[in-house]
Structure 1
């Protein structure tokens, strides 16, 4: 596995791979902000209209994991914060393709993301995840603490119900 930071040009060049990753995760039930129906065009619009511009502004990192040169996972670090929060960043959209799970990809992406946060002098990381989702124990194993839970926070990907979210944080040592 290889971890690679993408820039606006490489995001555009790999748009179809990024789109396929997000599309597969949403269709596998990931609660990452999208609901079904969710098309490949919807996925491409997210990468080109949301992530690409934020990376171009220099306020977001897009880190991908490659297996044999193919994108198998991704995570984002967003440090577009107000002046009184210049010490923190938000973890966004940790994705691992459903056929590539249980190989340590998510853990390695998160560890690399934390190294980038340290380099940016952003010692406080925050995130939210669907309560009792498979990602929650991963974050806990990486040292993230639960700040609280918000019931009925987001519509489930398949619709029809509201899911709770767990808000988590981590103080990075050595910053």
Structure 2
């Protein structure tokens, strides 16, 4: 384990870390992460995406967590609250990103645990997510007690945009 601090960012703190969040998204996609983008991953694409996510965070629609050490943002994950009246108890986990320099240090586990704890605290008892099938993410979620409900073939293009990849879907009851 590292000395990273995992915490829920306020909307103002997230806005203040925008440049670091942009860099984290660019790094993730450039290293092949399947998080809705293909190469080339430009700062402009990442900035546009974070603009919307930060506005959503400010409206209370999502929560953004960070993993930081020595002033560096090395990881993030989001809890997106289901807005439907009949799904007030549900949330999606999204954009689990760990910078290449900080991988294999337990940050993914710690970010997931923080998001799950906050979901439990605010009464969100059903969590869902999707990830690239047969990936490190899939192994992480299974290890953390998430239940895989299946795969959809050819769900998304790979980061290099040369092939289509299956996605695995998971849930966890808290």
Q: TM-score range by the shorter chain?
A: over 0.9
Partner SS for 1:38: coil
Equivalent residue, structure 2, for 1:73 = 75
What are the equivalent positions in structure 2 for 1:39-54 lying under 5 Å apart?
A: 39-48=42-51, 50-54=52-56
Corresponding pairs, count? 171
CA–CA separation in structure 2 for the residues paired with 1:4 and 1:158: 32
Which of 94, 106, 128 is the equivalent residue of 1:92?
94
- Structure 2, unmatched stretches of 5+, are none
Q: Runs of 5+ in structure 1 lacking a partner? A: none
User: Is 1:27 the equivalent of 2:64?
Assistant: no
Deviation track 1:40-94 (CA, whole Å, cap 9, x = no partner) reads: 121111111x211111111100000001121000000001331111111000010
CA distance in 2: counterparts of 1:82 and 1:116, whole angstroms: 19
CA contact (8 A) 1:11 1:47 kept: no
TM-score, structure 2 as length reference: 0.95
Q: Normalised by the size of structure 1, how large is the TM-score?
A: 0.94
Task: Give the superposition deviation at 1:7.
Answer: 2.6
Structure 1: 4+ residue segments shifted above 6 A: none
- CA separation in 2, counterparts of 1:101 and 1:42? 24
Distance across 1 between alignment mates of 2:82 and 2:71 = 30
Please give the secondary structure, in 1, of the residue aligned with 2:41.
Answer: coil
Is residue 7 from structure 1 mapped to residue 13 from structure 2 by the alignment? Answer: no
Contact 1:19 1:43 in 2 (8 A): yes
CA contact (8 A) 2:34 2:159 kept: yes
CA deviation digits over 1:97-141, x for unaligned, max 9?
011000000100000000110011111100000000111110001
Distance 1:80 1:135 in 2: 22
Report SS of the residue matched to 2:95.
strand
* Stretch of structure 1 that moved more, 25-34 or 82-91: 82-91
Residue 144 of structure 1: which of 137, 146, 154 is its match?
A: 146
- Whole-angstrom distance in 2 between the partners of 1:10 and 1:43: 18
Deviation at 1:4?
Answer: 2.5
